Amino acid sequence: MRLLKIDLNEMETEQEVHAFLMEQLHFPEHYGKNLDALYDMLSSELEENVCVELARRADPDTPMGAFGKRLAKVMEDAAQTTEEREGKLYAVFADFEPLDAPGLW
């Protein structure tokens, strides 16, 4: 599993974050570069297992700080598992087959 680090303190715009994710996660050219499209890609279109480490903006009241909150929510919703450690969000995106247990339902 690959670790992909995103530090929003080093990025200036939402477009820069989307371009970074598109390049690093090998999203197709038709990727919409918005949070809805990101959710779709993270939940079904990844080519590899990846853990994303998200360091949010120190000042959450800036536009990028607000974007960081929305980005973290999308990652939490799309990930198989998440964990907060030392002020960073770790979200794991992995291919897996859900356990099929028809006798339990």
User: What is the pLDDT, as a whole number, of residue 99?
Assistant: 36
CA distance 104 to 63: 46
User: What is the pLDDT, as a whole number, of residue 96?
Assistant: 54
User: What is the pLDDT, as a whole number, of residue 103?
Assistant: 42
- What's this model's pTM, rounded to 2 decimal places? 0.84
CA distance 56 to 58: 6
Tell me the domains of the chain and their CATH numbers.
2-97 (3.30.370.10)
- What's the pLDDT tens digit per position in 66-105? 999 999 999 999 999 999 999 899 999 986 544 344 443 3
pLDDT band at 57 (very low <50, low <70, confident <90, very high): confident
